[in-house]
Structure 1
Amino acid sequence: MPDPKPSTSRPIWVLAAPGAGDQRQLLTLADALHGEVRVFDEIDPVGTVLVDRVSGAARRTFSGAKAVRYVPPWPDLVLIAGGRSVVDAQRIREASGGRARTIAVGRPWSSYAPVDVLVTTPQYRLPPAGNVVEIPLPLNAPPAVAADARKRVREALDRVDAPTVGVLLGGDSGSFRFGPRAIERISGQLSDFVDASGAHLVACGSPRTPAGALDALRERLGDRVTLFPWAPSAVNPYPAVLADCDALAVTGDSASMLAEACLSGKPVAVLPLHPRRRSRIARALGRLVPETTRNALTRRGLWLPARDLPRLHAVAATHGWVRPLYRLLDGPVDNPPTLESLLEPVLARIESLVED
Structure 2
Amino acid sequence: MRDCCWIISDGTIGMELQCKALAESLDLKYQIKHISPSRILTALPQFGAIPLLWKNKYYTKEFYPPFPKVSITCGRRHAGFAIALKRMSKGKVSTIHIQDPRINPGFFDHLVIPEHDPSRGKNIVISKGSLTKINKDKLEAEAKRFLGLVNHLPQRRIAINIGGSSRGVAIDKASAEKIVDNLTLLAKKSDCGLMVTTSRRTDETIKYQLRKLNEKRNVLVYEGIGPNPYIGFLGLAETIIVTSDSINMISEACSTGKPVYIIALGKNNKRKQSFLDAMQQEGRTRPFDGHLQSWTYEALNETERVAAIIREKLSNDNVI
**TM norm. shorter chain > 0.5:** yes
Whether 1:45 and 2:37 are equivalent positions in the alignment is: yes
- Give the corresponding residue for 1:321: 284
Q: What is the one-letter code of the residue matched to 2:261?
A: A
State the TM-score, normalizing by the size of structure 2.
0.80
Whether 1:83 and 2:83 are equivalent positions in the alignment is: no
Q: What is the one-letter code of the residue matched to 1:153?
A: L
**SS of residue in 2 equivalent to 1:320:** coil
Which of 243, 246, 259 pairs up with 1:254? Answer: 246
Write the distance in 1 (CA, Å) between the matches of 2:36 and 2:160.
35
Q: What is the one-letter code of the residue matched to 1:323?
A: R
- Give the corresponding residue for 2:100: 107
**SS of residue in 1 equivalent to 2:107:** coil
**SS of residue in 1 equivalent to 2:196:** strand
Matches within 5 A, 1:25-36: 25-36=18-29
Whether 1:136 and 2:128 are equivalent positions in the alignment is: yes
**SS of residue in 2 equivalent to 1:118:** strand
Which of 213, 226, 231 pairs up with 1:234? Answer: 226
Q: What is the one-letter code of the residue matched to 1:185?
A: K
- Give the corresponding residue for 1:286: none
Deviations 1:269-296 (A, max 9, x none): 1111121xxx7xxxxxxxxxxxxxxxxx
1:150–1:240: 8 Å Cα contact kept in structure 2?
Answer: yes
Whether 1:171 and 2:164 are equivalent positions in the alignment is: yes
Distance 1:215 1:23, change over 3 A: closer
Structure 2 segments unaligned to the other structure (5+ residues) = none
Distance 1:74 1:220, change over 3 A: closer
Write the distance in 2 (CA, Å) between the matches of 1:163 and 1:111.
49
How far off its partner does 1:340 sit? 2.4
Equivalent residue pairs, number: 314
- Give the corresponding residue for 1:292: none
Whether 1:19 and 2:15 are equivalent positions in the alignment is: no
State the TM-score, normalizing by the size of structure 1.
0.73
Deviations 1:295-325 (A, max 9, x none): xxxxxxxxxxx66222222222233221343
Whether 1:340 and 2:295 are equivalent positions in the alignment is: no
Q: What is the one-letter code of the residue matched to 1:126?
A: P
1:83–1:110: 8 Å Cα contact kept in structure 2?
Answer: no
Whether 1:150 and 2:146 are equivalent positions in the alignment is: yes
Deviations 1:45-96 (A, max 9, x none): 3335369869776334534364364333433322111233333322332343
How far off its partner does 1:264 sit? 2.6
How far off its partner does 1:175 sit? 4.2
Whether 1:59 and 2:51 are equivalent positions in the alignment is: yes
Write the distance in 1 (CA, Å) between the matches of 2:260 and 2:72.
30
- Give the corresponding residue for 1:180: 173
- Give the corresponding residue for 1:298: none
Percent identity, aligned pairs only?
21
Q: What is the one-letter code of the residue matched to 1:129?
A: G
Distance 1:204 1:96, change over 3 A: closer
How far off its partner does 1:172 sit? 0.9
Distance 1:325 1:56, change over 3 A: closer
Write the distance in 2 (CA, Å) between the matches of 1:250 and 1:51.
32
Distance 1:57 1:121, change over 3 A: closer
Distance 1:176 1:140, change over 3 A: farther
**SS of residue in 1 equivalent to 2:106:** coil
1:171–1:210: 8 Å Cα contact kept in structure 2?
Answer: yes
**SS of residue in 2 equivalent to 1:25:** helix
Write the distance in 2 (CA, Å) between the matches of 1:90 and 1:205.
35
How far off its partner does 1:335 sit? 2.0
2:186–2:290: 8 Å Cα contact kept in structure 1?
Answer: no
How far off its partner does 1:140 sit? 1.6
1:168–1:205: 8 Å Cα contact kept in structure 2?
Answer: yes
Q: What is the one-letter code of the residue matched to 1:14?
A: I
1:175–1:253: 8 Å Cα contact kept in structure 2?
Answer: no
2:10–2:37: 8 Å Cα contact kept in structure 1?
Answer: no
1:58–1:88: 8 Å Cα contact kept in structure 2?
Answer: no
1:58–1:90: 8 Å Cα contact kept in structure 2?
Answer: no
1:148–1:235: 8 Å Cα contact kept in structure 2?
Answer: no
Q: What is the one-letter code of the residue matched to 2:304?
A: E
Which of 91, 114, 118 pairs up with 2:111? Answer: 118
Q: CA RMSD in A?
A: 3.6
Higher deviation after alignment, 218-227 or 199-208: 218-227
Higher deviation after alignment, 165-174 or 66-75: 66-75
- Give the corresponding residue for 1:301: none
1:171–1:209: 8 Å Cα contact kept in structure 2?
Answer: yes
Distance 1:312 1:71, change over 3 A: same
Write the distance in 1 (CA, Å) between the matches of 2:13 and 2:65.
28
